A and B are shown apart, each in its own frame.
Chain A
Amino acid sequence: MLEGFTTFELLKLFAPLIIFELIFKVFCIVKMIKEGVRNLSIPIWLIIIVLLSTFGPISFLLFGRRRNYDKS
């Protein structure tokens, strides 16, 4: 598969996306550890963030992030 492309060419193509994805996932994991979660437990959110590309971190920010007023 993908014989027409060298590994370097593929890396160059996907570089912006790979970098973005990594930063986004790390950002969400840090947020999760620092602020806590809601709706699901930390291990489940961790699996969702790590395994689901882009939509995992987005769903965490939408449904899993603990907001300031949830803490009280």
Chain B
Amino acid sequence: MSSYKAYFKKELIEGIRNYKFLILAIGIILFAILDPIMLKLLPEILKGQTQGVDISQFMNINHRFSITNYMNDIYNIANIVIALTLMGVITDEIKDKNIVIPLTKGLNLEGLVIAKTLVYSLIITSFTFVGFIINYYYSQILFPKDLVSFSSVMKSCLLYSIYLLFVISLIYLLSSLFKKGIIAALLSILIIYTMPLIMNIKILSTYLPFYLIKQANNFNVIFDSTLIISILWTLIYIVIITVITIERLKRIEIN
């Protein structure tokens, strides 16, 4: 337990020292502020761009649209930021030979992987909730019409957080498979963006983590049996991926 606590503290210090937490915070929270402002200015910008034709009249920008826009940015951009930030979490440990220090002291790899996963899961989940709350507040100020209830936004945020936990574990697995972090990052980005395509296969759709994103974007999240099954499957994937990561690390020859 003491070794696990030490791993946890080490990850926290490393995250602060390497500015990983700062990058993640910016990648997730910045768009929470930026998106509603840009949406507010969008009709004016479009008026200037298309002389004579007011395209903004065809757009119905309201509170719901503003939050959906932020959700899309979380999926499109925050995923890339997370992949690029966490790509070296395990590869760097092996490359810089830091992993040898705890192992030679008889400490286990399970604790190391779980501590890493837990630290970044907590940080990313916190940032996601903060981002959603900020976005809700800004969107409410700038678009006071057709307000979406706070509870439904929080439900969507919860689904996004579970999905991001899956993304973290996937990046860790790929990071343990490849010597270069950038390959792990690119491959995880590829998998993340390929998932919506696989969603077209109806039989598979509920068993994929992307189903959570699809449901979250509806705002009307009802925790029915289909959604709970999807959440459970995502959690099972996370556990399986983490176990494979640990097993993979055990087999790596650390020299």
Tell me the complex Cα distance, A17–B84, Å: 23
Nearest CB in chain A to that of B142: its residue: A13
- Give the Cβ gap from B68 to chain A, nearest Cβ, in Å: 21
Q: Which residues of A contact B41 (CB under 8 A)?
A: 2, 5, 13
Interface mask (B144-161 → A, CB under 8 Å = 1, otherwise 0): 000000000000000000
Interface size range of chain B in the complex: 20 to 34
Interface mask (B20-37 → A, CB under 8 Å = 1, otherwise 0): 001100110010011001
Does A69 count as interface, using CB distance less than 8 angstroms? yes
User: Is A17's CB under 8 angstroms from B34's CB?
Assistant: yes
Tell me the complex Cα distance, A71–B96, Å: 13
Does B19 count as interface, using CB distance less than 8 angstroms? yes
Interface locus among B44-52, B198-206, B211-219: B44-52
Does B57 count as interface, using CB distance less than 8 angstroms? no
Nearest CB in chain B to that of A63: its residue: B84
Does B180 count as interface, using CB distance less than 8 angstroms? no
Q: Which residues of A contact B27 (CB under 8 A)?
A: 58
Q: Which residues of B contact A1 (CB under 8 A)?
A: 44-45, 47-49
Tell me the complex Cα distance, A20–B84, Å: 22
Does B225 count as interface, using CB distance less than 8 angstroms? no
- Count residues on chain A whose CB falls below 8 Å from chain B CBs: 18
User: A54 and B26 in contact (CB under 8 A), knowing A17-B34, A61-B19?
Assistant: yes
Tell me the complex Cα distance, A25–B19, Å: 14
Q: Which residues of A contact B44 (CB under 8 A)?
A: 1-5
Does A16 count as interface, using CB distance less than 8 angstroms? yes
User: Is A58's CB under 8 angstroms from B48's CB?
Assistant: no
Does B18 count as interface, using CB distance less than 8 angstroms? yes
Tell me the complex Cα distance, A62–B88, Å: 10
Q: Which residues of A contact B85 (CB under 8 A)?
A: 62
User: Is B23's CB under 8 angstroms from A17's CB?
Assistant: no
Q: Which residues of B contact A3 (CB under 8 A)?
A: 44, 47
Tell me the complex Cα distance, A61–B23, Å: 8
Interface mask (B51-83 → A, CB under 8 Å = 1, otherwise 0): 000000000000000000000000000000100
Does B40 count as interface, using CB distance less than 8 angstroms? yes
Q: Which residues of A contact B23 (CB under 8 A)?
A: 58, 61-62
Q: Could you tell me which B residues sit within 8 Å of A by CB distance?
A: 18-19, 22-23, 26-27, 30, 33-34, 37, 40-41, 44-45, 47-49, 81, 84-85, 96
28 A-B pairs with CB atoms under 8 Å apart are A1-B44, A1-B45, A1-B47, A1-B48, A1-B49, A2-B44, A2-B45, A2-B48, A3-B44, A3-B47, A5-B41, A5-B44, A13-B37, A13-B40, A13-B41, A14-B37, A17-B30, A17-B33, A54-B26, A58-B23, A58-B26, A61-B19, A61-B22, A61-B23, A62-B23, A62-B84, A67-B18, A69-B96
Given contact pairs A2-B41, A14-B37, A20-B30, a sample of 8 additional A-B residue pairs in the complex whose CB atoms are under 8 Å apart: A2-B45, A3-B44, A17-B30, A17-B33, A17-B37, A54-B30, A62-B23, A69-B96
